[in-house]
Chain A
Amino acid sequence: MRNLNGNKSKFVYQVKGLNLWYGDKQVLKDINMKVLENEITAIIGPSGCGKSTFVKTLNRMTDNIPIVRTEGEILYNSQDIFNSEMKVEELRTKVGMVFQKPNPFPKSIFENVVYGPKIHGIKSKKTLMEIAEQSLRGAALWEEVKDRLSDNAYGLSGGQQQRLCIARTMAVSPEVILMDEPTASLDPVATMKIEELMEDLKKEYTIIIVTHNMQQAARISDKTAFFLSGELIEFDKTNKVFGNPADKRTEDYITGRFG
């Protein structure tokens, strides 16, 4: 396989036999999946199918929920993320996350962006400023906020807040960005901006995006995974999944027969 740059591509994630339980309830059932570098992978499926839980497992955000129990392997760059050798803090800086609802801190725009670098020991004001500018440019927000970096982030619009969160994630230079329905709470214009942004992000980052919106998945992603009741039903190139699905259930879902 070759990726867009024509280089020999490598697997960022290899998920092998992943099972996950919330207490007694099994939420993910024997998931096997490989994610290629610098691709956008969309994860679709009806509410409660486990797609959100799945991406949260990829950077171990599920660690914070005491009743969650996992089984199986997730290799990140051929290193098992559940291995005790793997520091969860390290994993999360390499694999950033953007959430469903924009969640900037109630601080200034600048403080939001440099939160990550700061807590990870970057103190030089000059470096922080550079990181902030670079990240905000990367998230296509720089031009809109460069004159009011010290304003509170809550003064921004919803779409701007979400791009700020993307910039905040980029500030620690991750390799992968997980996005959990990042446009679910945004209006169509803001959604479009974020979709455009993702096209650019793809050049530098591997993106895994959960979306409820099938048009969005079809528009932006290279690969699409369809989850149903905790199972991975189908995972293939996006135009294959949408154009000629192999599984009847996938077809039913994308043609709107349920979900």
Chain B
Amino acid sequence: MNKDGNEGFILKEDVKLMNEKMTRPEKEQVTFNKDRIAWRIGLNNFAKHLFFLSTVFAIVVLGILLYQIVVGSIGWLDWQFLTNNLSIFPEKAGIKGAIMGTLFLMMIVIPITLIIGVATAIYLEEYATEGRIQRIIKVNISNLASVPSVIFGLLGLTVFSRMLNLGPSILAGGLTMSLLVLPIVVVASQEALRSVPGFLREASYGMGADKWTTIWRVVLPISIPGIITGAILSISRAIGETAPLVVLGVPTLIMKIPTGIMDDFTVMPIQIYYWTLDTVLTPEYAYLASATIVVLLVTLFILNSVAIIIRNKFQKKF
């Protein structure tokens, strides 16, 4: 089929050739070696199973991971663990501070990313004309999305923590995280806006509505489920992210529960990080880490389920 020596792309001519061959009855076909056909089919089946195994491999690992962590958390994950403050004694230690820290962090991240993210998406999809500014912003966002998170940590450390003198506070952490997850919200919102069919905009313009009225009254209400889905995904990312906060200097041991956005704080992933590092000294910390991971994963699972439910419920067919 493929021309000998041409291992690269199949050309359209090749397809034509293939199709021509198809329609031409070929006598040689009858003389095909039966053993060879059996071998080819056998190889095909072998490969199929191999490919299946690679798909399942990842899933099996996922299963082992979850099993290990859940087993590790048994006996440690209870109400007391969720409501106690941090302690150096494993039996007394709880993650109330980390949970509160995560909640506080989200109070910063959610409004900031939503406002900036949706506004950026509206600009790109509704207002920007093809041109340099639009291209710069687009390329910038796709590159920003692939900057390693640890670099955002350096940005936060330098700009928010040191230059603006916010220290490793909830505000500094929230701002850093907001910038990190911003591309997720932008891209999701862009998709949501793009999915609003042109004929609905036309209908609105046809009634004498101006552009902003059309966006505000017609386009945005229809895009909200998509935007919320994107926002939830970005929140999940922010909740699980560790490196930027560690780089920002979020401290190892926080006994105090944060009460405001200028307070020092810790979050669940950082708690996991330090407990994991310290298992060398106190082996029980591994169980505490497992228990915290279970709480973290359940949180993410709930968030993602909500996102999926919203997406399915509001999926509009026009």
Contacts and interface: CB of A to CB of B under 8 A. Distances in A.
B208 interface: yes
A115 B209 CA distance: 9
A115 B316 contact: no
A89 B209 contact: yes
A61 interface: yes
A103 B199 contact: yes
Contacts of A107: 221
B206 A96 contact: yes
A106 interface: yes
Given A105-B218, A106-B222, A119-B213, A169 B207 contact: yes
Please classify how large the interface on chain A is, using the bins under 10, 10 to 19, 20 to 34, 35 or more. Answer: 20 to 34
Given A105-B200, A119-B217, A99 B209 contact: no
Contacts of B209: 89, 116, 119
B198 to A, nearest CB: 9
Nearest to A171: B207
A136 interface: no
| Most chain A C-beta atoms within 10 Å of own C-beta, residue among B205, B208, B221 | B208
Contact of B205 (A90, A92, A106): A92
A26 to B, nearest CB: 23
A128 interface: no
A207 B222 CA distance: 31
A81 interface: no
Interface in B194-208: 197, 199-200, 202-208
Contacts of A61: 202, 205-206
B206 A101 contact: no
A106 B222 CA distance: 8
A172 B217 CA distance: 17
A165 interface: yes
Interface string A74-90: 00000000000000111
Nearest to A101: B199
A64 interface: yes
B129 A66 contact: yes
Interface in B153-210: 197, 199-200, 202-210
Contacts, number: 61
B129 A168 contact: no
A116 B208 contact: yes
Interface string B96-107: 000000000000
Contact of A115 (B197, B207, B222): B207
Interface in B286-318: 316, 318
Contacts of B208: 88-93, 116, 119-120, 172
Given A66-B129, A103-B199, A96 B207 contact: yes
A97 interface: yes
Nearest to B206: A97
Contacts of B199: 99, 101, 103
15 contacts: A64-B205, A89-B210, A96-B206, A97-B206, A99-B199, A101-B199, A103-B197, A103-B200, A115-B204, A115-B217, A119-B207, A119-B208, A119-B209, A169-B206, A169-B207
Q: Which 7 A-B pairs have the closest CB atoms?
A: A92-B208, A93-B208, A97-B206, A116-B207, A103-B199, A89-B208, A103-B203
Interface of B: 129, 197, 199-200, 202-210, 213, 217-218, 221-222, 316, 318
Given A90-B208, A93-B208, 8 more contacts: A91-B208, A99-B202, A103-B202, A105-B218, A106-B318, A116-B207, A116-B208, A119-B213
